[in-house]
Amino acid sequence: MISQTIQDNIEEIIEVLQQAEAYNGYKMCTSTDTYLYNLHSRLMHLSDEKIGFFFEKTNSNARVGTYKITLKCSEEVEAFINEKRSD
């Protein structure tokens, strides 16, 4: 079941996810790490800590690595988000 908080904040949740996903393939840097941590914190707040994301570094060399944003939530919540994105 999708919590009422997620239902109430779905538009903002999608907006935050889109802002984070804009960094897919982006070159890693400290200021971007800080920005993504802030987005993650905002997303956790909007969803009562039910939705988050990983920003994996796709290369072991921190100087040339890039980001890969991965959603972290239940399958039910992910399906709800995807449904609302397509509306």
Tally of structural domains, the chain: 1
Residues spanned by the domain of 62: 4-86
**Cβ proximity of 55 and 43 under 8 Å:** no
pLDDT digits (tens, 9 = 90+) for 43-64: 999 999 999 999 877 666 555 6
Question: What does R_g of the chain's alpha carbons equal in angstroms?
Answer: 13
Give the pTM: 0.87
Average confidence (pLDDT) over 27-35 = 88
The rounded percent of the chain whose pLDDT value lies above 70 is: 91
